[in-house]
Amino acid sequence: MKAKLGIALSGGGARGIIHIGILRTFSKKIKIDALSGTSSGAIVAASYACGTLDLLEEYVTHLTRKEFIHFGDPAFSRGIFHGNHFQKWLNTITLGKRFEDLKISLAIVSADLKNGKQVVFTKGPLNTAIRASCSVPGIFTPLKYKGMLLVDGGIVNNMPVDILPQLGADIVVGIDAANQSGFFSFLERTFRMMKKISMGIDGMEWKFRRTGFGEMSSKLKSRLDLMARERLKNEIIKNNISKIKKLYPSKAEQKRLEEKYTVRHILSKALKTYYSTIKINKEEEADLIITPRFADISSVDFFKGKEAIELGRMYAQHYIPLIKMMLKEF
């Protein structure tokens, strides 16, 4: 019986464009039986499975700043962008297909922010699964789906090689476009940036609710908005301490308030989830890991599509003989 090949495509922002060149070159010499992907890797994996790799390549190699900015539908809470325009574009790239319509096995990874667990999509609309997998915390708002709050799968499994055997793969190859820590250094930089700007309304409330009853420093008062100060003044006049205490929620109430998931809270939970899973070495579950070296392409260089694809072709050509040998000797 002929061995089946499964390929896992990692996230990595713009670096994930390299997957296009790799898959296109592999497919000319090797049959790909199963794919798994996270974040930008999910976009390329789904496009390949839908037969729209030409369309995706045309788009990323001719992307203009105007088109890129079009994705930016401001959210003002939980993230910079809603992601609705992005999801519509994903529907175009996937031809509106569902997993059930595909001729190749595909799995897309996301993460549930509520419990920090991995969510693997193998059924349903492709654009929904990819939108969830690409929801970088702080950038896109989390996707509400079946009681879950889904964000970028990179925080739990950025290169999902471990899923491929479940899809029937005998030989498992992982493509690490993030160079392992790239995505998370980006996430940490985003967290620090958002921490600074989240001291607006949402940030003031976050700080205020955790100061504790009795601490009425001038610094705290300066952060209260006009309505909050007026409310506090009225309560003091009435000398009704029990009502004043309502401004300072109990621990149980604070926990409930946290479920509102401000940008800061989303980023904090995302980082905690990542750090709790970072020690799990899934690379041992792969037969081969390909880690491209990017000289001058960062995770945000979305206008270097041609260079990334060409780099992918070069790496693929180098590894084709080895993969053929692995399949033959299985």
What lies within 8 Å, CB to CB, of 240 at 6+ separation is: none
Q: Is 54 a catalytic residue?
A: no
More confident residue, 233 or 136: 136
Question: Model confidence over 156-184: pLDDT tens digits?
Answer: 999 999 999 999 999 999 999 987 545 55
Question: Model confidence over 22-65: pLDDT tens digits?
Answer: 999 999 999 999 999 999 999 999 999 999 999 999 999 999 88
- For 149, the token pair is 């709050």
Residue 277 has pLDDT above 70, yes or no: no
Longest dimension (CA), the chain: 84
**Among the options 152, 170, 176, 287, which is catalytic?**
152
Q: Is 109 helix (H, G, I), strand (E, B) or coil?
A: strand
pLDDT (0 to 100) of residue 83: 85
Q: Is 296 a catalytic residue?
A: no
Sign of the alpha-carbon dihedral angle for 172, 281, 42, 120: positive
More confident residue, 92 or 79: 92
Judge if pTM exceeds 0.75: yes
Lowest mean pLDDT among 78-82, 93-97, 160-164, 222-226: 222-226
Helix 305-329 to helix 53-61 angle (10° resolution) is 150
Give yes or no for a contact between 118 and 111, defined as CB atoms under 8 angstroms apart: yes
Query: Euclidean distance between the first and final Cα of the chain, in Å?
Result: 10
**Among the options 10, 33, 36, 39, which is catalytic?**
39
